[in-house]
Amino acid sequence: MALEVKDIIKPENLVYAKTKLLTERMLHYCPGCTHGVVNKLIAEVIDELNIQEDTIGVTPVGCSVLLYNYIEIDWHEAAHGRAPAVGTGIKRLRPEKYVFTYQGDGDLAAIGTAETIHACNRGENMLMVFINNGIYGMTGGQMAPTTLEGMKASTCPFGRDVEHDGNPLNMTSIVATLPGTCYVTRQAAHTAPAVRKLKKALRKAFENQKDKKGTSFIEVVATCSSGWKMNPVQSNKWMEANMFPIYPLGDIKDV
């Protein structure tokens, strides 16, 4: 006898549901935005490690500025680019807490370059999550330091010209050279296997804090379909073809 859908949809057969750490608020991100996937994975990892009461997040300026509305933990909002400095202060005052920062590439790799590098160089015992969509999403798709050569953005409508605009900045490779970082990895969130790997990386990074290992740094190569002017599926394909060769996925450092 054929099994009907209503026979399958029963509490005892549940294998995946939205984590209870995510609030009921609807995410403000555009359809298909990588931010939503990463926000969710952070919530799942905090839930699974059972550290909800002991985790403090620091939100950036950028599309993810409202992240504090979405995960039921303590939060602190930082000025543009200053999340690593704010995270440093929190972690030093409350070393027993799990602290993480969450920043886009405009935030972390442009205005906040100094804070990023010095926090990593000091080896602040926290996690830094870096969402690299190669663009300033929130403000209208301007060129970021991470914008690829030839990639179009609203401030380089003919594509980034390295003669004029400089080369794409690879922050993750830079921070991997610093003695303060213990775990540096570049991940993505566009396919189910990529999501599972990213989740493992996030879990490991939170666990590194317990072991007082230093700074864990996770870049997520991401899309911004609104800024890139493609649909979410096309954006993922474009990312695979164009972003991954310049920002290759995998662990760069793990000590």
Partner 1 sequence: MAKVRGAIVVDTVTCKGCSLCVESCPTDVIRLAAEVNAKGYNYAYMENPEACIGCANCAMVCPDSCITVYKVKVAEAV
Ligand X SMILES: Cc1ncc(C[n+]2csc(CCOP(=O)(O)OP(=O)(O)O)c2C)c(N)n1
Q: What is the DSSP secondary-structure string of 158-182?
A: T-B-HHHH-PPP-HHHHHHTSTTEE
Q: Give the nearest residue (CB) to ligand SF4.
A: 137
Among 10, 96, 157, 245, binds partner 1 (CB under 8 A): 10
Work out whether 87 is an interface residue with ligand SF4 (CB under 6 A): no
CA distances from 186 to 80, 120, 181, 201 (A): 23, 16, 14, 9
* In the complex, minimum distance from the CB of residue 88 to ligand SF4, in angstroms, rounded to a whole number: 26
Among 45, 108, 171, 189, binds partner 1 (CB under 8 A): 189
Among 64, 147, 185, 226, binds ligand X (CB under 6 A): 64
How many whole angstroms separate alpha carbon 101 and alpha carbon 110?
A: 16
Among 138, 143, 175, 239, binds ligand SF4 (CB under 6 A): 138
Partner whose footprint covers residue 183, from ligand SF4, ligand X, partner 1, none (CB < 5 to 8 Å by kind)? none
C-beta of residue 131 within 8 angstroms of C-beta of residue 220: yes
Among 225, 239, 243, 247, binds ligand SF4 (CB under 6 A): 225
- CA-nearest of 116, 105, 78 to 227 is 105
Q: Which stretch binds partner 1 (CB under 8 A): 4-12, 58-66, 201-209, 244-252?
A: 4-12
| Residues across the chain | 255
